[in-house]
Amino acid sequence: MSVIYNRVALIGLGLIASSMFWAIKRAGLAGEVTGYARSEATRDTARRIGLCDRVCDTAAEAVEGADLVVMCVPVGAMGQVAAEIAPFLAAGATVSDVGSVKAAVIQAVGPHLPDHVHFIPAHPLAGTEHSGPESGFATLFDNRWCLLVPVDGTDAAALDRLARFWRGMGANVDKMEADHHDLVLAVTSHAPHLIAYTMVGVADDLRRVTDSEVIKYSAAGFRDFTRIAASDPTMWRDVFLTNKDATLEILGRFTEELFALQRAIRTGDGDHLHAYFTRTRAIRRGIIEAGQDTDAPDFGRAKVGR
Ligand code: NAP
């Protein structure tokens, strides 16, 4: 793979940025990668582990001369970061992000950026429950989707270049409109996270009346919920605050289905339960056939490196 951008600046140095750095290096996609994080502790860690070719003490320094700038901070911080870097962006540079919500990021970031840059929001559909500069790994994006969300008047060449860059990091690339993205992600990611948070919260309440048996005897279903519910609190707070409408829409539907299942249990309607679980099993098969998961008993997690 050859160099696609001469200088890439990563703003925010957590799970996604550090995975991007290792994936960029693996494929030689950038001449130089600069990095910036707001805390000195994160910048020190980055320097210690060799994360980024050059870790800068200010965002301004990191973006100077960069032809790609990627904002890798929580969704709620995107607007403030955009305002901070805007005066220092090179003419013709592409500014992108990796936020899990798109309409709110476009609204928060767009107004700050100068006309002489290309703004192309993006969202890699890949992650783990870990965060911070030491949590990244080069293979995170392999065979995962990265959705590019072009805004009005996006330059075709800049879009194509960013798509090549994500493909170089191992991802499959698709384009999607922002509101549609937010609805799809509410179904596939945001609502499931909220449900996992709730289930673990309920178990935590219950733990007090069962002498910790919930933890001690935690079965696979509950363990999977706890993994999801261990995700970064700041990131997920911001996701729900900024993808409010779509999440509430999906949770409304979820509640209706839950009541229907509850009723089937109460009335002993086994046919309803069986038909429902047969339908959901087919979805799981579809995901495996699409190569987005493995049917190994532990979801293949043991094989995934960190
Ligand atoms: P992370 O590991 O928690 O890292 C977040 C980074 O953002 C840190 O470097 C942190 O700086 C910085 N930051 C936090 N709050 C900030 C603020 N108010 N102003 C400026 N910088 C701030 O997060 P991540 O998992 O990489 O997530 C980054 C973005 O990717 C988020 O928008 C998230 O929605 C999106 N995303 C996440 C996943 C996932 O599964 N984790 C998947 C796809 C997309 P310090 O270290 O100095 O505090």
Question: Which pLDDT tens digit goes with each residue over 94-110?
Answer: 999 999 999 999 999 99
5-9, 60-64, 224-228 — which is least confidently predicted?
224-228
Higher pLDDT, 221 or 23: 23
**C-alpha 218 to ligand 1 mean position (Å):** 30
| Nearest in space to 225 (alpha carbons), one of 256, 259, 202 | 202
**Could you report the per-residue pLDDT of 146-187, keeping only the tens digit for each?**
999 999 899 999 999 999 999 999 999 999 999 999 999 999
pLDDT at site 305: 40
| Strands 122-124 and 118-119, sheet pairing | unpaired
Whether pLDDT at 257 is above 60? yes
pLDDT at site 16: 98
Q: In sequence order, which residues have a C-beta less than 8 Å from that of residue 66 and are 6 or more positions away?
A: 5, 7, 8, 9, 34, 89, 90, 93
The helix or strand, by DSSP H or E, that contains position 250, with its residue range, turns out to be helix 244-267
Task: Give the pocket of ligand 1 (CB within 6 Å).
Answer: 12-17, 37-39, 42, 72-75, 77, 81, 98-100, 124, 127, 131-132, 232, 235
Ligand 1 test: best mutation among 21, 55, 72, 185, most atoms within 8 Å of CB?
72
**Could you report the per-residue pLDDT of 220-239, keeping only the tens digit for each?**
788 889 999 999 999 999 99
Residue the block writes with tokens 């839950």: 258
Give the CATH H-level superfamily of domain 180-268: 6-phosphogluconate dehydrogenase C-terminal like domain (1.10.3660.10)
pLDDT at site 96: 98
**C-alpha 90 to ligand 1 mean position (Å):** 24
Q: How confident is the model at residue 304 (pLDDT cuts 50, 70, 90)?
A: very low
Atom from ligand 1 closest to the CA of residue 232: 3
Nearest CA to ligand 1 atom 39: 127
| % of the chain exceeding 90 in pLDDT | 81
Specify whether the CB–CB gap between 179 and 147 falls below 8 A. no
Whether pLDDT at 127 is above 60? yes
Nearest CA to ligand 1 atom 40: 127
**C-alpha 52 to ligand 1 mean position (Å):** 16
Atom from ligand 1 closest to the CA of residue 17: 26
The type of residue at 78 is: M
Tell me 89's DSSP state.
P
Whether pLDDT at 65 is above 90? yes
**Could you report the per-residue pLDDT of 181-207, keeping only the tens digit for each?**
999 999 999 999 999 999 989 888 887
Ligand 1 test: best mutation among 39, 44, 47, 73, most atoms within 8 Å of CB?
73
Nearest CA to ligand 1 atom 33: 99
88-92, 221-225, 230-234, 275-279 — which is least confidently predicted?
221-225
pLDDT at site 294: 79
- The pLDDT mean for the chain works out to 93
Token pair of 128 as six digits: 């783990």
User: Is the pTM of the predicted complex or chain greater than 0.85?
Assistant: yes
Nearest CA to ligand 1 atom 13: 73
Atom from ligand 1 closest to the CA of residue 18: 26
Atom from ligand 1 closest to the CA of residue 37: 47
pLDDT at site 150: 95
pLDDT at site 302: 52
Cα–Cα distance, 102 to 119 (Å, whole number): 12
**C-alpha 160 to ligand 1 mean position (Å):** 26
Atom from ligand 1 closest to the CA of residue 127: 40
Q: In sequence order, which residues have a C-beta less than 8 Å from that of residue 297 and are 6 or more positions away?
A: none
**C-alpha 73 to ligand 1 mean position (Å):** 4
Query: Which residues in the chain are classed under CATH 3.40.50.720?
Result: 5-176
Specify whether the CB–CB gap between 91 and 229 falls below 8 A. no
**C-alpha 79 to ligand 1 mean position (Å):** 14
pLDDT at site 306: 37
pLDDT at site 299: 56
**C-alpha 261 to ligand 1 mean position (Å):** 37
**C-alpha 76 to ligand 1 mean position (Å):** 10
**C-alpha 266 to ligand 1 mean position (Å):** 44
Q: How confident is the model at residue 297 (pLDDT cuts 50, 70, 90)?
A: low
Whether pLDDT at 76 is above 50? yes
36-40, 163-167, 208-212 — which is least confidently predicted?
208-212
Whether pLDDT at 209 is above 70? no
Q: How confident is the model at residue 77 (pLDDT cuts 50, 70, 90)?
A: very high
* One CATH from 1.20.1440.120, 3.30.500.10, 3.30.420.80, 3.40.50.720 for 5-176: 3.40.50.720
Query: Which residues in the chain are classed under CATH 1.10.3660.10?
Result: 180-268
